[in-house]
Amino acid sequence: MKKMNNKGFSLVELIIVIAIMAILLVVLAPQYLKYVERSRNSTDLQNAAEIVSALQIYAADPDSTVAPAAGSITIGTADQTPATGSFAAAALADAGLLDASGVLHTRRQSRTNWEDYTITWTVNNGNLNFQYSADNEASADLFSNRMLGATN
């Protein structure tokens, strides 16, 4: 009886495995990219909510040193530096969102739904009212609606 020398895979077996992997890649890659983009969008919403929360908490704090004042902050691909002594700078520094030199390192993550986004607030009888907008006109309402609690 002859023994066969089975020390590896045949060329046909390797080609079949590569073909199966290519098919899986073609099917799964778009879903993975959608998942990554949803994660980026969620990060933007979380960052905006964190900024809003910091402003609201600072405005409600009786020990705050800077009175609430209207303003806005735009989150884009570059770092932001709120004006020194401003309500935004004091609130974000108090929340630990600014570094030692007063720079906010929060940046826009989304690559498809909106461009830079802006959080604008006004003060009315001591309460802060927020408006949300995105530079991409087609999705400005999308960002605002999501910030106001929409889930789709």
pLDDT at 137: 59
The span from the CA of 72 to the CA of 132, in Å, is 10
- 21-72 pLDDT, tens digit per residue, is 999 999 999 999 999 988 988 898 899 999 999 999 999 999 999 999 999 9
**Torsion of Cα atoms, 138 then 143 then 145 then 151, to 10°:** 110
pLDDT at 92: 94
Tokens of 32: 């993975």
pLDDT at 151: 66
CA-wise closest residue to 118 among 40, 60, 47? 47
The span from the CA of 103 to the CA of 20, in Å, is 49
- For the cut 70, the answer to whether the pLDDT of residue 114 exceeds it is yes
The span from the CA of 80 to the CA of 74, in Å, is 8
Whether the full predicted model's pTM is greater than 0.85, yes or no, is: no
